[in-house]
């Protein structure tokens, strides 16, 4: 180092501040309900420019209104389905047209699946891969020129089911593992090519959104964590350009430490978290 500065100076962790997202141009997908909706409200309070998307227009309208009340620099929505890659690309183009660029792309939506034993429906796996995985790829590709320009961030919302084999969500788990493979490999190439776009993979445990509670509250022996806090942690992780984000840490990161040294034990622990007598056989 010829600069005269000790090298560790640049490695001091930057503290989180909501100011980091003030005035930033952010896309949040799957923001009509759940964690995505909460992220939109946090971003609004921080004064970001927000572009949200999902299928249900009436819900998006309400979320946008609330974002304006909460202080968003601007808030708008586009409704459509992420089964359609042209729609995924269209959302990104809208950021270019109406916001003049993009600082953060938050990929959060998930298609509907079932909770139960794998039913052998290959068509459903293909459709879910399109919604939960391919549309994430398509949006990333379209957004990359803008994100390179802004030295921005990609935030990918995944799950413990995308790091460890979980029963009863086989198609969903497959799509989440695919995200890890794609985005972890892409991050390596960004480093090699000096592309200053961060990729944050978010590993979430059980969160108290309506969808998750409906699917699993009766079956899982784990208490759900609050969605608003989860949403804030995701935004912090993205703004701080962290590689991976674990929420909550104790129920996600710690079990994963077992994975490489005691995989069978972790598998057994995972299975012990379900009330197996309450799973339908399809
Ligand atoms: P929600 O079901 O509340 O939200 C899903 C969002 O995706 C909704 O806005 C929904 O809106 C949208 N969506 C669904 N289908 C489509 C489609 N075909 N095209 C476009 N948008 C669609 O989910 P959560 O908030 O619980 O989950 C958010 C993220 O967190 C997901 O990536 C999920 O995997 C992850 N996660 C959640 C956990 C939990 O326990 N809740 C645990 C681990 C990870 P609409 O129906 O209007 O299209």
Residue ranges of the chain whose pLDDT lies below 70? 1-11, 281-282
Q: What is the reported pLDDT for 108?
A: 99
Decide if 30 contacts 43 (C-beta within 8 A).
Answer: no
Ligand 1 binding pocket (C-beta < 6 A) is 30-36, 54-56, 59, 81-83, 108-111, 131, 157, 159, 204, 206-207, 209, 211-212
Continuous H helices in the chain: 34-46, 57-70, 85-94, 122-129, 135-150, 170-192, 210-216, 227-239, 249-259, 263-271
Q: What is the reported pLDDT for 69?
A: 98
State how far the alpha carbon of 14 is from the alpha carbons of 43, 152, 153, 207, in Å: 19, 16, 16, 27
Decide if 72 contacts 66 (C-beta within 8 A).
Answer: no
Place of tokens 């989180």: 16
Q: What is the reported pLDDT for 261?
A: 94
Residue 3 CB contacts under 8 Å (≥ 6 apart), including other chains: none
Quick one: 18-278 is in which CATH superfamily?
A: NAD(P)-binding Rossmann-like Domain (3.40.50.720)
**Distance (Å, rounded) from C-alpha 60 to C-alpha 79?**
8
Q: Which residues pair with 225 in a beta bridge?
A: 207
Q: What does 3-59 look like in DSSP terms, one character per residue? A: SSS-GGGGGSPPPP-GGGGTT-EEEEES-SSHHHHHHHHHHHHHT-EEEEEES-HHH
**Distance (Å, rounded) from C-alpha 261 to C-alpha 263?**
6
Q: What is the reported pLDDT for 195?
A: 98
Task: Tell me the CA–centroid distance for residue 261 and ligand 1, in Å.
Answer: 32
Q: What is the reported pLDDT for 14?
A: 85
Q: Name the residue of 59, 77, 110 whose CB sits within 8 Å of the most ligand 1 atoms, as the mutation to test its pocket.
A: 110
**Distance (Å, rounded) from C-alpha 92 to C-alpha 141?**
10
Give me the percent of the chain exceeding a pLDDT of 90: 93
Sheet of strand 25-29, all strands in order from the earlier edge strand to the far edge:
74-79, 49-54, 25-29, 104-107, 153-159, 198-204, 244-247
For atom 36 of ligand 1, the residue with the nearest CA is 159
Residue 6 CB contacts under 8 Å (≥ 6 apart), including other chains: none
Decide if 253 contacts 246 (C-beta within 8 A).
Answer: yes
ipTM of the complex: 0.99
Q: Which positions are annotated as active-site residues?
A: 172
Q: Name the residue of 27, 31, 34 whose CB sits within 8 Å of the most ligand 1 atoms, as the mutation to test its pocket.
A: 34
Identify the CA nearest to 157 among candidates 40, 32, 244: 244
Task: Tell me the CA–centroid distance for residue 260 and ligand 1, in Å.
Answer: 30
Instruction: Report how far Cα 163 is from the mean position of its chain's Cα atoms.
Output: 14
Q: What is the reported pLDDT for 93?
A: 98
């Amino acid at each position: 180092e010829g600069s005269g500065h000790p090298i560790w100076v640049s490695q001091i962790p930057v503290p989180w501040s909501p100011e980091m997202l003030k005035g930033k141009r952010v896309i949040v997908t799957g923001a009509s309900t759940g964690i995505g909706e909460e992220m939109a409200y946090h971003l609004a309070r921080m004064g970001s420019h927000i572009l949200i998307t999902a299928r249900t227009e009436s819900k998006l309208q309400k979320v946008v209104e609330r974002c304006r009340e909460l202080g968003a620099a601007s808030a708008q929505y586009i409704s459509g389905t992420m089964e359609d890659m042209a729609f995924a690309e269209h959302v990104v183009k809208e950021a270019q047209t109406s916001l003049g660029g993009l600082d953060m792309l938050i990929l959060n939506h998930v298609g509907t699946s079932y909770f139960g034993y794998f039913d052998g429906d290959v068509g459903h796996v293909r459709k879910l891969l399109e919604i939960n995985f391919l549309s994430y790829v398509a949006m990333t590709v379209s957004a990359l020129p803008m994100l390179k320009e802004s030295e921005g961030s990609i935030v990918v919302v995944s799950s413990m089911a995308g790091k460890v084999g979980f029963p009863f969500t086989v198609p969903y788990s497959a799509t989440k593992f695919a995200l890890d493979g794609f985005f972890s490999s892409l991050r390596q190439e960004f480093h090699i090519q000096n592309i200053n776009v961060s990729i944050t993979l978010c590993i979430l445990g059980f969160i108290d959104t309506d969808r998750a509670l409906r699917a699993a509250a009766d079956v899982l022996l784990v208490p759900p964590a609050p969605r608003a806090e989860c949403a804030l942690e995701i935004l912090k992780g993205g703004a701080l350009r962290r590689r991976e984000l674990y929420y909550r840490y104790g129920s996600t990161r710690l079990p994963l430490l077992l994975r490489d040294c005691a995989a069978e034990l972790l598998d057994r622990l995972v299975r012990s978290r379900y009330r197996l007598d309450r799973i339908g056989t399809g």
